[in-house]
Structure 1
Amino acid sequence: MKTLDIDAVHAFVLTAELNSFTRAAEAMDSTQSAVSLKIGKLEKSLGRRLLERTPRQVRLSFDGELFLPAAKALLAAHAGALEAFGRTQRRLVIGVSHHIVGPELPALLRRVSEGRPGLTLEIRVAPSREILELFDRNDMDAAIVLRHDSRRLDGEIIHEESFGWMAAPDFHHQPGEPLKLATQAAPCSVRSMAIDVLDAAGLPWNEVFVGGGVGTIGAAVSAGLATAALGRRVAPADTIDVGPRFALPALPTRAVVLHAHVTDEGARGALRALGAAIRASEKAYRLP
């Protein structure tokens, strides 16, 4: 009777969900070549090709689509078997900047939670400044925030977040007139970044909407009231980057940094999975 390598099945599921051997390797604390080798052996054992590999993407084959639900069920059963003599409960409190997570948050949480039945996730979404204050008071185990300056250089950089001047496709701006902005109230660092860039370029601006979070800013932008400096992953799906159209100055990228107090492997594995999922969920650049 054939037996399946659990690690290989895990590698296949992660690669399928993250659409990347690289991201799967990050989540497993392994290497891309090792993950590829595991999946190759799994495919040989099954006598089926599970993934279609091209230079630019990885996608499920027909047989891979059939195998994926069974593979997930096998991983869940394996995790349950390991917990047969008592489940070790672990609460992991993670703070995440609201400029980093958007509509993909449910998918991120699912990927982190899968195969970890003893893990209770507590996610707090707030401005980076507030998240870091809570982390430094030991009120949370980990923080994922934007780095806006060189005053704090600790933590692990997991991603470079890109920003655009996001607006509704029919947003109108007359050159020479103040640019209509939707922002968060000061001292939001993304607000400061946007204003500094406009001031440096000598472009006039006017705040026409001040929101209480990225969600409210996104609503104002979708309604056509203004443009906003937003990360493309959190911008509403019906918005585009109007920077090129109106010759607006480019916005800088910001490092996404992970700060963590955790030492146990279960929590570290969950954080690796979350970091890999954030990288894999970056939206493609959207032109007007």
Structure 2
Amino acid sequence: MKVLDLDAVRAFVLVADLASFTRAADALGITQSAVSLKLKRLEAHLGKSLLARTPRVVKLAVDGETFLPAARALLDAHDRALGAIAAGTRRLSLGVSEHVAVPDLPAVLTSLHRQDPGLTLEMHLGSSSNLLAQYDERRFDAAIVRHEPGEDPPRDDGVPLFTEPLAWLAAPDWAPRADEPLPLAVLAGPCGVRAAALRALDQAGLPWRERFTGGGVAAVAAAAAAGLAVCPLARRVAPRTLVDVGAKFGLPPLPRSQVVLYSRVRDPRTAAALRRFADSLAIPA
């Protein structure tokens, strides 16, 4: 039976997740050439090509796609075993956009704790712009934020997680009055989702007014559920009681947003836990 080098497997998973030898090397605290050597030895040990190397892009080969889920499971089992007996704790300070955190966050955190009981997590919710600014000031180890199209100059130090559309959501029996501006429930500025929604309405020539301004997504969703207004939110983070009324009332389409992970976490186990948490946010609640 072949015995796998866990360090090499971890390097492979990081290269797959980050699509970069350089970023994987930074996360592991080793050189890029060391990462490359680990992967070559792993491929030789398996007798398979895991990566399709090109000058500009790192992609998984067919065998790499097949091996990746098993590699993750192997590392997860290893980390859980260590976490169960490890002395002391590791800390992770994390900022998560209000528009990214899912309603069943307690279940996500429970799963994270079960997989990595040695991790102490400090989490802050807020607007993407504020969280990213605090990350740049090194107040957080990592941040998961939304980027709206045309909102900011693109950055190359983040890892895209997924994209998703926004929707006009309201209570099932809600309807706007034809003789009044469209009533909105939105977050206070600065907020990228708010800006994208108002920009879409202005470009469509539809008058609007703020009926409710909330300090968080939960407050905005509650106002919409109460029938006060319509709100622009991602379907994934909204209560199931809200329905998409955009097409019904001729509201302009909203853009797709990109959810991005920024991280300077170097400890491999903490980085793996962070990635598991980030991936769990993409699953519809």
TM value normalised by structure 1: 0.70
3-state SS of 2:102 partner: coil
Against the structure 1 CA distance between its residues 37 and 87, is the aligned structure 2 distance closer, same or farther, given a 3 Å change threshold?
Answer: closer
Q: Deviations over 1:12-53 (max 9, x none)?
A: xxxxxxxxxxxxx969x99541256789xxxxxxxxxxxxxx
Residue among 51, 66, 71 paired with 1:33? 66
In the other structure, the counterpart of 1:257 is 260
In the other structure, the counterpart of 2:90 is 90
User: Offset at 1:120?
Assistant: 0.6
1:273 and 2:241 aligned: no
Tell me which amino acid in the other structure corresponds to 1:178: P
Q: Distance in 2 between matches of 1:109 and 1:266?
A: 16
Task: Kindly tell me the number of residue pairs found equivalent between the two proteins.
Answer: 224
Against the structure 1 CA distance between its residues 119 and 212, is the aligned structure 2 distance closer, same or farther, given a 3 Å change threshold?
Answer: same
Residue segments in structure 1 that go unaligned for 5+ positions in a row: 8-24, 40-71, 284-288
Residue among 182, 186, 191 paired with 2:189? 186
Tell me which amino acid in the other structure corresponds to 1:249: P
Q: Distance in 2 between matches of 1:239 and 1:225?
A: 12
Q: Distance in 2 between matches of 1:272 and 1:140?
A: 15
Name whichever of 184-193 and 161-170 sits farther off: 184-193
Q: Distance in 1 between matches of 2:265 and 2:123?
A: 15
- Matches of residues 1-288 of structure 1 in structure 2 within 5 Å? 32-34=65-67, 78-79=81-82, 83=85, 86-148=86-148, 149-154=151-156, 155-175=158-178, 177-279=180-282, 281-282=283-284
Q: Distance in 2 between matches of 1:158 and 1:180?
A: 32
Q: Distance in 2 between matches of 1:133 and 1:100?
A: 17
Q: Distance in 2 between matches of 1:37 and 1:229?
A: 38
Q: Distance in 2 between matches of 1:156 and 1:75?
A: 25
Identity of aligned residues (%): 40
In angstroms, what is the RMSD of aligned CA positions? 2.9
Against the structure 1 CA distance between its residues 249 and 35, is the aligned structure 2 distance closer, same or farther, given a 3 Å change threshold?
Answer: same
3-state SS of 2:221 partner: helix
3-state SS of 2:185 partner: strand
User: Offset at 1:159?
Assistant: 1.0
CA contact (8 A) 2:165 2:256 kept: yes
3-state SS of 2:81 partner: helix
Q: Deviations over 1:244-276 (max 9, x none)?
A: 110111100111011111111011101210122
CA contact (8 A) 1:183 1:191 kept: yes
User: Offset at 1:88?
Assistant: 4.2
Against the structure 1 CA distance between its residues 226 and 77, is the aligned structure 2 distance closer, same or farther, given a 3 Å change threshold?
Answer: closer
Residue segments in structure 2 that go unaligned for 5+ positions in a row: 7-15, 19-23, 25-59
User: Offset at 1:135?
Assistant: 0.8
Q: Distance in 1 between matches of 2:70 and 2:275?
A: 21
Q: Deviations over 1:180-225 (max 9, x none)?
A: 1111222222111111000101111111111111111111000000
User: Offset at 1:233?
Assistant: 1.7
CA contact (8 A) 1:182 1:220 kept: yes
Q: Deviations over 1:110-129 (max 9, x none)?
A: 23222312211111111111
CA contact (8 A) 2:79 2:269 kept: no
Q: Distance in 1 between matches of 2:234 and 2:250?
A: 19
